[in-house]
A and B are shown apart, each in its own frame.
Chain A
Amino acid sequence: MSLGETVITIIAIVTAAGLMIIVPFSTVSQRTDDISQLAISTSTTDFVNSVRTTGILTLDDYEKFIEDINSTGHNYEIEMSIGRLDENAARKVSQMVSGSKIGENERVWQYQSQVTDLLDKPPYEIQLNEGDMFVVKVKNKEQTIAEQLNKAFLGGASGDSYAIAAEGAGLVTTNGN
């Protein structure tokens, strides 16, 4: 075998190994990320809707939500926010009395650490009022395999980019008490 044939043989073997191992691996990991994305989007939407329609956020619901999203095999960072109306808006008023409306007011925001502090203390639930806003954002903490392959071979973005993320927000439609 001459030198030229040897070089071509080596190139062919390396290319074949790359195509037969890396390409399917990359494709499967991307599909897994898509499935994880769908799963956490659904879980986040269900969680937000259950809190909006009942007006109560319990520790049990929160832990069940964490369990659902962690079942995809990744670790996620959760950011919950509660925007409370700082007055009793949309209350019954007569014609002569000027009441405030939902949508006109400023909100007082409680963020993740404050919300989890409240959930960790008895009665392990938070009651919300009509017109409050409940927001949940979820994103993956570590890079997935697809992200790492993408960065290695295609020079994708680095830093705080994330492949799997979901968010849900909405108005609370009933008083929780």
Chain B
Amino acid sequence: MKIQSLAVIFTIIILPITIVLNSYIRNYVTTLNYQISYDSKLDNATYDALKAFQLNTFNNSSSNYVNSKMRDIEAAANSFFESISQNFNMIGYNNETLKDYIPALVFTMYDGYYIYSLYNNKLDDLTQSQIDANPQASIKGNGEQTYGFKPYIYYSCRYIKDDLDVVITYALDNYIEIHGMKGTAVVNISGYLINDISKNASGDISYRGITISQEGENVLNEWIGEKESDRSNANI
């Protein structure tokens, strides 16, 4: 066989393999680049949402009230979508388009969370009739899908065992609230859950090697003092 024929056969074999492998690696590199880029854009938008929430609540004396808190969180969600739509603007995605690609936003608070997601709107008959009488594009009717915040969900769970029927509400730290019934007695207590704490027969509480006596003298008391100069002036 002539060497030119061998060269052509070599090219025919190697060229398709090279092209396919090259294409595969290019796709892999492009995918990784997109992953990094999208993660970065999401991180930036999340940071902007939290920063907006911080700035909005910092100067607001009523930020702990529920309606004020909802308003702050809705403003933070708007900031998130605004920031992420600016980051994807070059590709042509705007606010409304991006909502279809974001299944949910979860705002984790101290004792519960809000979820911002797509849901089926549920209206009573009176509200539906008012909307039918005055239809507007921004207001969705009964059964229509819309984006919005769902009601606050507490970190709580109900426990039933024998005669114990209580609901325990947890928080992000070790604070818990217990409400319910034990037999016929109402249970309504709250406090901080602490590990490694025990009570002996005499009623003394032991925590991390320190014994706290329930009886005897009062160890801690409140000191109200005054300056020496004030006392001498008072005596005069």
Bound complex: CA A99 to CA B74 (Å):
15
Bound complex: CA A173 to CA B230 (Å):
49
Known: A9-B4, A131-B55, A171-B52. A103 touches B82 (CB 8 A): yes
* Stretch of B84-92, B189-197, B220-228 that contacts chain A: B84-92
Known: A103-B75, A131-B52. A168 touches B60 (CB 8 A): no
Bound complex: CA A173 to CA B58 (Å):
13
Contact across chains for B56 and A103 when beta carbons are under 8 A apart: yes
A56 to chain B, nearest CB (A): 17
Interface residues of A in 64-123 (CB under 8 A from B): 83, 89-95, 99, 101-104
Contact across chains for A99 and B7 when beta carbons are under 8 A apart: no
Contact across chains for B76 and A15 when beta carbons are under 8 A apart: no
Bound complex: CA A4 to CA B203 (Å):
108
Bound complex: CA A41 to CA B41 (Å):
12
Contact across chains for A16 and B7 when beta carbons are under 8 A apart: yes
Residues on B with beta carbons closer than 8 Å to the beta carbon of A23: 18
Interface residues of B in 1-37 (CB under 8 A from A): 2, 4-5, 7-8, 11, 15, 18, 22, 26, 29, 33, 37
**In the assembled complex, B211 has its CB within 8 A of some CB on chain A:** no
Contact across chains for A171 and B61 when beta carbons are under 8 A apart: no
Interface residues of B in 54-102 (CB under 8 A from A): 55-56, 58-62, 71-72, 74-79, 82-83, 86-87, 89-90
**Chain B, interface size: which category?**
35 or more
**In the assembled complex, A137 has its CB within 8 A of some CB on chain B:** yes
**In the assembled complex, A59 has its CB within 8 A of some CB on chain B:** no
Contact across chains for B29 and A34 when beta carbons are under 8 A apart: yes
**In the assembled complex, A39 has its CB within 8 A of some CB on chain B:** no
Contact across chains for A169 and B33 when beta carbons are under 8 A apart: no
Residues on B with beta carbons closer than 8 Å to the beta carbon of A170: 44, 47-48, 83
Contact across chains for B90 and A167 when beta carbons are under 8 A apart: yes
Residues on A with beta carbons closer than 8 Å to the beta carbon of B90: 137, 139, 165, 167
Residues on A with beta carbons closer than 8 Å to the beta carbon of B26: 30
